[in-house]
Amino acid sequence: MVHQFIGLITVRTGSSRLPKKALLPIKGRCTIEHLIDRSKLIHGLDKLILCTSTEKTDDILEHIAYKNDIACFRGSLEDKLERWNEAIKKYGADFFVAIDGDDLFADPYLINLSINQMRKKPCDFLDIPKDLVCGGAEYCIATSALRRVCEIKDTKDTEMMWVYFKDTGLFGVRYLNVPDPIYHNKKIRMTLDYLEDLEFFKRVFNEFNTDKNDIPLRKILRVLEKKPEIAKINFFRQEQFLQNQKNKTKLVLKKPLNNKTVQTTNSWRFCGNEFKYVREVLESGFGSSTSGNMNTRLERAFTKRFGVKFAVTSNSGTSTLHQALAAFGVGPGDEVIIPPLTVIMCGYAVLYTGAKPVFADIDPDTFLLDPLDIERKITKKTKAIMAVHLYGQVCDMEAIMSIAKKHNLYVLEDCAECYLGTDNKGRIGGTIGHIGSFSFENSKHLSTGDGGILTTNNEKLAERMRKFGGMGFKNIRALSGQVRKNKDIFQDPKYLRHDTFGWNYRLPEVAAAVGLAQLEQIDFLVNKRKEIAAKYIEVLKKCDFLIPQEVTNGYINSYWTFAAKYEGEEKKGISWYKFRKKFMENGGDGIYAAWALVYNEPIMKTIDKEGKFFEDLPPQALHLKGFLKNINCPNAEMIQPKIMQFTTNQGIEKDMKIQISALRKTINYFN
């Protein structure tokens, strides 16, 4: 996945200390035009946008932007963060560089450096080193973090915006790494705020005898080293400038977000519009329940975010699997290929239909379905393949879809643990097969307490799934779960409501309200998990007995959990249990084991031997007796007892450090 970066040149004509400073002339061009010229040299940007207010006085800035062939966005006068947020909604980007309109010598080299560092190792906020020359570099920010800040702040006065990213404890912050010492100089000031600053910039232009603002900052700094009197023109203003910034810096949040609160609960995940949307449902008196207002809004937003035609909400990620298989026409006598290393609900969903699960082995490194074994397990009875994107990693869908096409099979992607995971073609898990199934259970990337959602590009499958989960109401269609369209008809005693068999798998409106708010924060929530996963990976680079789940080249893992294969028993003589105990003694949350293989669960063996769902009742599934014959999954048998799952749901940097420190200490202890 290639991240998109945009540059937002943030400027207004209004200024109390230096009126209309953006329009002041230097060498025949106004200062903002000089900055535009310089910003065009930032080759790492996909788009450059001048970002100003809707005030009449800023009309001229829009004219300047278009005259200089760059885009212009106009938004809130007071709220800089909201202005950025709206600009990004319009133009789209994963990250943006906040180019201050006062920083005439903001260096393209340093900004490209920050973009490259963000591409290689993304974070929420790439800060500027404190000893870097003032005005030489700019902040690089994840748009998901910006959206989150806009949700939690409780003021429009966001001039000193950095405080929301650095001081809430909610975001991953790193410093730009600038090796060249020439840039580390706190005795030089390169930002336009006072008349003396303007004189400084004019002097530098004259020194190079140029009217073009393309001089590398390194060259400027070399000249200032030789001629310190130029830097003295305005540097005496720096102390006043910093004090003014300090006086303006304030953190105003909608509700307390102190680290203690965040550390002891998972409530940090619900700081968006959850309460607002739930209140809308309650204030409607659940009037929308018959038309599915919140469900409809969630579904539409989901289709837009995932790039599919249809989405259908459901009351759990197990129900979604059942709905999908039913829509495929899976029934008694059919077989569905699933992995043994997954939750038992994958097997249950197949059994619900009366079909039999057939277990294909896994790859020992990725822990995912092995396409070669899938093909070996196909019979004349095979109807579908359930590809489980385990722990956040997308299966080899290219191979699986090829096999499915060859044998005329359906493919169901179980994405319960995989939100925004992608394959090497950039395709999002859940959008590649015939149907994608997602879970909103409380531990997942997005949570409504419980719930789920299905995705597909096939209208017939969408309608079947919606009807099957909506009690078979005949008014239900692929895009709508509305059942009461005309009161006179609906209240007619002769009215016949149901033309399809179905279950009651509908998602409550309150849950859909929470889901909609969660979806609005999906990038932030997923990036949090990826952030701590990157830290785990860094620690394990020096460990030869704990091997991370392999991420195939070009794929992106969304890390519902961080899974690793433990080989300490063989290599160190240290049991799985002993390592876990020491990890917890060192402050770790705990280490989760992989689930028992589906076919090893006691109930599966009971069904296989006796056709019973309950030991104390007569058989209820005699047709399923013997369904566990001829199982051969040696890789799954070998890998399951070795897997260690480390938590990835930490909301703040402090909590992440606790887990990372515990892992590092434990590894060092046994080394």
In angstroms, rounded to a whole number, what is the distance separating the alpha carbons of residues 53 and 80? Answer: 9
Asked if residue 612 lies in contact with residue 606, where contact means CB atoms within 8 angstroms, the answer is: yes
Q: Say how far apart CA 248 and CA 239 lie, in whole Å.
A: 14
Q: Are strands 95-100 and 125-127 parallel, antiparallel or unpaired?
A: unpaired
Residue among 666, 670, 628, 616 nearest 646 (CA): 666
CB distance 288 to 281 below 8 Å: yes
Amino acid identity of 240? Q
The terminus-to-terminus CA distance of the chain in angstroms comes to 36
How many CB atoms within 10 Å of residue 344?
18
Query: To which H or E segment does residue 636 belong?
Result: helix 634-639
DSSP SS3 for 104: coil
Contact between 223 and 207 (Cβ < 8 Å): yes
Rg of the chain's alpha carbons, rounded to an integer?
29
Residue 527, CA distances (Å) to 47, 360, 524, 547 in order: 23, 31, 5, 22
Contact call for residues 414 and 342 (beta carbons, < 8 A): yes
**Is 444 assigned a catalytic role?**
yes
Which residue blocks in 121-194 are alpha helix, DSSP H? 143-152, 162-166
Q: Where are the alpha helices (DSSP H) in 167-273?
A: 195-207, 217-226, 228-235, 238-248, 259-264
Task: Decide if 336 contacts 390 (C-beta within 8 A).
Answer: no
Residue positions counted in the chain: 671
- Between CA 518 and CA 440 the distance in angstroms is 10
Q: Say if residues 351 and 537 touch (Cβ distance below 8 Å).
A: no
Phi, psi of 566 (to 5 degrees): -90, 120
Q: Are 559 and 529 in contact (CB under 8 A)?
A: yes
SS3 1: coil
Q: Are 166 and 109 in contact (CB under 8 A)?
A: no
Task: Using DSSP bridges, classify how beta strands 310-314 and 452-456 pair: parallel, antiparallel or unpaired.
Answer: antiparallel
What is the rounded distance in angstroms from the CA atom of residue 640 to the CA atom of residue 320? 26
Q: Identify the helix (H) or strand (E) that includes residue 487.
A: helix 487-490
SS3 of residue 406 by DSSP? helix
CA-wise closest residue to 441 among 430, 452, 432, 426: 452
- Euclidean distance between CA atoms 5 and 420, whole angstroms: 19
State how far the Cα of 109 lies from the Cα of 215, in Å rounded to an integer: 11
User: In this structure, what token pair is assigned to residue 465?
Assistant: 């799934």
* Residue (of 350, 429, 341) closest to 389 by Cα position: 429
Nearest C-alpha neighbor of 94 from the set 144, 38, 133: 144
* The one catalytic residue among 444, 467, 530, 565: 444
**Phi, then psi, of 64 in degrees rounded to 5:** -65, -40
Residues serving a catalytic function are 444
